[in-house]
Every structure is written in structure tokens, then in C-alpha cells.
């Protein structure tokens, strides 16, 4: 997966989880949970969607990689 594809996938997942969040031009250091106001259930759903779309499981130990937009892109693109 290229970084662009990863970013696209992340934005798509976020659109589902937080429909009201303004996702246009998110800076790379956006904290997905705090800045977008995702609660633990939203975040779980976010991980679930990423996992479904990529067809690879995402372990709980990997959650820290999904902290910011940039780290999440790096994590998904590197798989």
C-alpha cells in the first residue's frame, strides 16, 4: 500500500467513525483520538475498518502506531 492509498483509507475510515469531523487538509501530526474527539469505541471501530479493508489483523499492541495521522500512514504503508 502506498502512503497515498493509506491516507485515503484512513480518511475513509474516519469519515465513517466521525462523520462530523472536518477531514480536509488534516496536518500530519493530527492526534486521531484527541484532535478528532474519538472515544474508545470510535477508535475500536476505526481499527476494525482498517483491519477489514486491509485484510490484515491489527493487534492491540499496534495501537500506538495509529496515534497520529502520519504514524498511521507509515504503519499501514509499511505492511
Dihedral Cα 43, 66, 20, 36, nearest 10 deg: 100
Residues that bind another protein (CB under 8 A): 18-20, 33-34, 38-41, 44-45, 47-48, 51, 57-61
For residue 34 the three cell numbers come to 484527541
Output the smallest distance, CB 79 to another protein, in A: 15
Cβ closest to another protein, residue 25 vs residue 61: 61
Contact 73, 10 (CB under 8 A): yes
Cβ closest to another protein, residue 29 vs residue 52: 52
Output the smallest distance, CB 41 to another protein, in A: 5
Cβ closest to another protein, residue 5 vs residue 56: 56
Amino acid at each position: 500500500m502506498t502512503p497515498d492509498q493509506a491516507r485515503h483509507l484512513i480518511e475513509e475510515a474516519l469519515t465513517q467513525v466521525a462523520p462530523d469531523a472536518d477531514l480536509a487538509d488534516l496536518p500530519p501530526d493530527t492526534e486521531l483520538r484527541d484532535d478528532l474527539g474519538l472515544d474508545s469505541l470510535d477508535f475500536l471501530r476505526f481499527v476494525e475498518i482498517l483491519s477489514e479493508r486491509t485484510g490484515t489483523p491489527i493487534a492491540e499492541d499496534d495501537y500506538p502506531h495509529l496515534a497520529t495521522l502520519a504514524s498511521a500512514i507509515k504503519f499501514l504503508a509499511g505492511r
